[in-house]
Structure 1
């Protein structure tokens, strides 16, 4: 994007790495949220500030 290249103008390999990386971060965040939510529910602190 720094050189003025549009997202659809990226080579297929770079676009694939971009999508896989984004999905990896999304999955890692979802797993972390799931386990933190389970932990909070088990300790009974959901909704407490």
Structure 2
């Protein structure tokens, strides 16, 4: 999970410094997907560790 969070931070930095609108949109889409995946992963890990 930590590696994905670091990847998001790197992509955000690239997007902030980037001037290409198309690339920035694609980076933003990827960032949102990774954040969603991290949320799902966190939920799944909670369920696995607290379930029967």
TM-score by length of 1: 0.62
Q: Look up the match of 2:16.
A: 7
Structure 1 runs not aligned, ≥5 long: 1-5, 44-49
The structure whose Rg is larger is 1
The number of residues matched between the two structures is: 38
User: In the superposition, relative to structure 1, how do residues 8 and 35 fare at CA in structure 2: closer, same or farther (>3 Å)?
Assistant: same
Q: How far apart, CA to CA, are the structure 1 residues paired with 2:49 and 2:31?
A: 27
Higher helix fraction (1 or 2): 2
Tell which has more relative contact order, 1 or 2 (C-alpha 8 A, sep 6+).
2
Query: What is the TM-score of this pair, normalised by structure 2?
Result: 0.59
Structure 2 spans left out of the alignment, 5+ residues: 1-14
